């Protein structure tokens, strides 16, 4: 199962696990895959705490970190975080905030207890936070990979990451985006198809992966979107992917940090229960369909804003929903891909890896047998 990229990272299996949960990063790393921590929800101080915890628990295994620096965003270039936050807050129409409050009240989601802060919701979606995040990330020697979610990272950031010998990559949803990543000198690209969880484009994985692989060859491509078992992994490797980049399936592992209500909703959902919606982040993001996503689709409701304004406008729903997950489940943000339909039980991360590898080997052996190769 080795290839140039996995050998560079020193991992046993070419399985990359995107997660917001440090315990999953460690469990996947110890099982022979590569855990990638999503940094977007963390301030620089919080990120330092998470990375130090990973360093203390992962031993000599490598891991990665994913930042979210969109190629285009409102407030681009502003590096003073307080000033940027104030400017953006002023751009949010009052009607949006009122609509969010109405939805929360209709669903009887309690107010935050006195003294609990809401925060701005701006987080790492901009240069003012993503750049210091990268500086922090580079202080941790076991980080072998930095990925960017929403576009080609700027040249100075690419040079800074590569200078320390780490690999830098980025996600893409079209061959043209992949071409831009390659032209910027990235070390790998992640091709994420329509069925994937989180921000996702509109080309299905089986169509997208070979197009991207051809577009950027010989640059390694990790296949993402709709991979939840070893047969899907075998398909991706057979098409020429250098590995699989997975997200959804780590939401329902034993080590995941989701609330019991959220994990239940993932376990119960079928593959028809997701929708691509701009209602939480301002960009098309695949999540479970619920009263919240339906409400933003109605013709009489506000249009969604761009990134990061929509995220800031709906901050109250995120925070109150996070505080009272049982009450807010019908309007909660549950990003997940179509493989949610096969996420039917909670497993240990290590078991997920081993079952996936075994099933992948079985699939590839079946194919060899079909070809008469013993």
Ligand X SMILES: Cc1cc2nc3c(=O)[nH]c(=O)nc-3n(C[C@H](O)[C@H](O)[C@H](O)COP(=O)(O)O)c2cc1C
Taking the least distance from each CB to ligand X, the nearer of 104 and 288 is: 288
- Asked if residue 226 binds ligand X (CB under 6 A), the reply is yes
Q: Per CB under 6 A, does 173 bind ligand X?
A: no
Taking the complex as a whole, the smallest distance from the CB of residue 206 to ligand X amounts, in Å, to 13
Query: What torsion do the CA atoms of 226, 227, 230, 236 make, to the nearest 10 degrees?
Result: 90
Q: How far is the CB of 188 from ligand X (least distance, A)?
A: 13
Counting other chains too, the contacts that 204-210 makes at CB distance below 8 Å and 24 or more residues apart are 206/235, 208/173, 208/174, 208/175, 209/236, 209/239, 209/240, 209/241, 210/239, 210/240
Q: Rule CB under 6 A: is residue 198 a binding residue for ligand X? A: yes
By CB under 6 A, which span of 87-95, 194-202, 209-217, 296-304 interacts with ligand X? Answer: 194-202
Q: Which of 32, 70, 173, 197 binds ligand X (CB under 6 A)?
A: 197
| Backbone φ and ψ of 199, nearest 5° | -65, 130
- Of the ranges 206-214, 239-247, 264-272, 273-281, which one interacts with ligand X (CB under 6 A)? 239-247
Of 25, 88, 161, 171, which one interacts with ligand X (CB under 6 A)?
Answer: 171
329: DSSP letter: G
Q: Which residue lies nearest ligand X, judged by its C-beta?
A: 247
Closest to ligand X by CB, 87 vs 344, is 344
Measured in degrees and rounded to the nearest 5, phi and psi for residue 226 equal 90, 20
Cβ neighbours for 240, distance < 8 A, ≥ 6 positions apart: 209, 210, 213, 221
Based on the shown chain and the rule CB under 6 A, indicate whether residue 258 belongs to the binding site for ligand X. no
Q: CB–CB of 240/220 below 8 Å?
A: no
The minimum distance between CB 232 and ligand X, in angstroms, equals 9
Q: Are 40 and 47 in contact (CB under 8 A)?
A: no
Could you tell me the smallest distance in angstroms from the CB atom of residue 373 to ligand X?
A: 30
Among 26, 47, 88, 339, binds ligand X (CB under 6 A): 339
Quick one: tokens of 67? 């930042």
Of these, 62, 196, 201, 230, which contacts ligand X (CB under 6 A)?
196
> Contact 208/173 with Cβ under 8 angstroms?
yes
- Residue 225 in the binding site for ligand X (CB under 6 A): yes
User: Binding ligand X by CB under 6 A: which of 24, 31, 34, 40?
Assistant: 40
The window from 46-54, 232-240, 246-254, 295-303 that contacts ligand X (CB under 6 A) reads: 246-254
Dihedrals phi, psi of 274, to nearest 5 degrees? -105, 160
The residue within the footprint of ligand X, chosen from 18, 125, 296, 324 (CB under 6 A), is 18
Task: Report the nearest approach of ligand X to the CB of residue 365 (Å).
Answer: 24
Q: What is the spatial order of strands in the sheet that 274-277 belongs to?
A: 198-199, 285-288, 274-277
Asked if residue 241 lies in contact with residue 5, where contact means CB atoms within 8 angstroms, the answer is no
Taking the complex as a whole, the smallest distance from the CB of residue 97 to ligand X amounts, in Å, to 24
Task: Kindly give the pairing relationship between strand 34-38 and strand 143-148.
Answer: unpaired
Of the two residues 51 and 68, which places its CB atom closer to ligand X in the complex?
68
Q: What angle do CA 266, 267, 273 make, to 5 degrees?
A: 55
Contacts to ligand X by CB under 6 A: 18, 38, 40, 66, 68, 147, 149, 171, 192, 195-198, 224-227, 245-248, 251, 335-337, 339
């Amino acid at each position: 199962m080795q290839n140039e990229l996995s050998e560079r990272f020193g991992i046993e299996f070419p399985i990359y696990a995107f997660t917001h949960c440090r315990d999953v990063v460690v469990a996947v790393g110890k099982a022979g895959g590569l855990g990638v921590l999503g940094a977007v929800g963390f301030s620089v101080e919080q990120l330092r705490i998470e990375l130090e915890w990973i360093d203390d628990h992962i031993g000599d295994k490598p891991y990665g970190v994913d930042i979210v620096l969109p190629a285009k965003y409102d407030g681009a270039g502003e590096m003073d975080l307080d000033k940027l936050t104030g400017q953006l807050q002023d751009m949010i129409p009052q009607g949006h905030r009122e609509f969010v409050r109405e939805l929360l009240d209709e669903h009887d989601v309690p107010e935050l207890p006195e003294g609990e802060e809401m925060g701005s919701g701006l987080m790492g979606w901009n240069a003012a936070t993503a750049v210091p995040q990268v500086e922090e990330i580079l202080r941790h020697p076991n980080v072998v990979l930095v990925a960017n979610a929403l576009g080609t990272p700027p040249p100075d950031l690419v040079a800074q990451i590569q200078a320390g010998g780490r690999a830098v990559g980025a996600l893409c949803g079209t061959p043209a985006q992949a071409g831009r990543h390659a032209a910027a000198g990235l070390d790998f690209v992640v091709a994420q198809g329509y069925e994937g969880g989180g921000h996702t484009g509109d080309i299905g994985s089986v169509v997208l992966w070979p197009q991207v692989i051809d577009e950027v060859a010989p640059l390694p491509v990790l296949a993402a979107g709709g991979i939840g078992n070893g047969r899907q992994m075998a398909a991706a490797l057979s098409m020429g992917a250098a590995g699989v980049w997975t997200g959804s399936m780590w939401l329902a592992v034993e080590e995941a940090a989701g609330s019991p209500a959220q994990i239940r909703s993932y376990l119960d959902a079928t593959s028809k229960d997701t929708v691509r919606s701009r209602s939480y982040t301002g960009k098309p993001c695949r999540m479970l369909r619920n009263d919240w996503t339906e409400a933003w689709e109605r013709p009489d409701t506000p249009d969604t804003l761009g990134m990061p304004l929509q995220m800031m406008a709906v901050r109250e729903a995120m925070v109150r929903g996070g505080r009272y997950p049982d009450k807010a489940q019908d309007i909660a943000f549950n990003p997940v891909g179509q493989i949610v339909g096969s996420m039917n039980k909670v497993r240990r991360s290590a078991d997920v890896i081993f079952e996936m590898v075994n099933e992948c080997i079985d699939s590839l052996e079946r194919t060899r047998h079909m070809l008469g190769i013993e």
